[in-house]
Homo-oligomer: A and B are copies of this chain.
Amino acid sequence: MDMGKGVGLVETKYITVASHPHELTLESGQHFGPVEVAYETYGELNQRGDNCIIVPHALTGEAHVAGRHTPEDRVAGWWDELIGPGRALDTNKYFVVAANVIGGCCGTTGPKSTNPETGKPYGADFPLITIRDMVQVQYLLLKNLGIRRIKAVIGGSMGGMQVLEWALMYPEMVEAIVPIAASGRLAAQCIAFNAVQREAITGDSDFKGGHYYPGPGPIRGMGLARQIATITYKSDESWASKFGRTFSSIRPQDYYSLDNRFEVEHYLDYQGEKLVQRFDANTYLYLTKAMDLHDLGRGRGEYREVFSRFRGKVLSIGVSSDFLYPKYYQEEIHHFFKQAGADSHYWELISPYGHDAFLIEFKKMSLKIAQFMQTLS
- A169 contacts B by Cβ under 8 Å: no
The reply to whether A187 and B256 form a contact with Cβ atoms under 8 Å apart is: no
* CB proximity to B under 8 Å, residues A268-284: 268
Are B227 and A257 in contact, with the CB atoms below 8 A? Answer: no
Q: Which of A90-98, A189-197, A309-317, A340-348 contacts B (4 or more CB under 8 A)?
A: A189-197
Are A224 and B199 in contact, CB atoms less than 8 angstroms apart? yes
Contact with B along A66-94 (1 / 0, CB 8 A): 00000000000000000000000000000
Interface residues of A, count at CB 8 A: 56
Contact A258 B128 (CB under 8 A): yes
Contact B256 A30 (CB under 8 A): yes
Asked if residues B189 and A236 are in contact (CB atoms below 8 Å), the reply is: yes
**Residue contact B256 to A195, C-beta cutoff 8 Å:** no
Q: Does A149 contact B (CB under 8 A)?
A: no
A186 within 8 A of B: yes
A110 to chain B, nearest CB (A): 13
Cβ of A5 within 8 Å of any chain B Cβ, yes or no, is no
Please give, as numbers and ranges, the residues of chain B lying within 8 Å of A1 by CB-CB distance: none
Q: Are B192 and A256 in contact (CB under 8 A)?
A: no
Q: How many copies does the complex hold?
A: 2
Contact B196 A268 (CB under 8 A): yes
Complex Cα distance, B285 from A188, in Å, reads 28
Q: In whole angstroms, what is the CA distance A240 to B256 when docked?
A: 40
Inter-chain contacts of A199 with B (CB < 8 A): 224, 227
B200 and A240: CB pair below 8 A? no
With contacts A200-B224, A240-B188 taken as known, whether A195 is within 8 angstroms of B265 at the C-beta atoms is yes
Residue ID in chain B nearest A204 by CB atoms: B203
In contact, B258 and A124 (Cβ under 8 angstroms): yes
Supposing A195-B268, A228-B228, A265-B191 touch, asked if A295 and B245 sit within 8 A by C-beta, the answer is yes
The interface of chain A, by Cβ under 8 A from chain B, is: 26-30, 124, 128, 130, 185-189, 191-193, 195-196, 199-200, 203-205, 220-221, 224, 227-228, 230-231, 234-236, 239-240, 242-245, 255-258, 260, 262, 264-265, 268, 285-286, 289, 292-293, 295, 323, 326
Not counting A188-B236, A200-B200, A236-B326, a sample of 17 additional A-B residue pairs whose C-beta atoms are within 8 angstroms of each other reads A185-B245, A187-B236, A187-B240, A188-B243, A188-B264, A189-B236, A189-B240, A191-B262, A192-B264, A200-B224, A203-B220, A236-B323, A245-B295, A255-B293, A258-B285, A258-B286, A260-B289
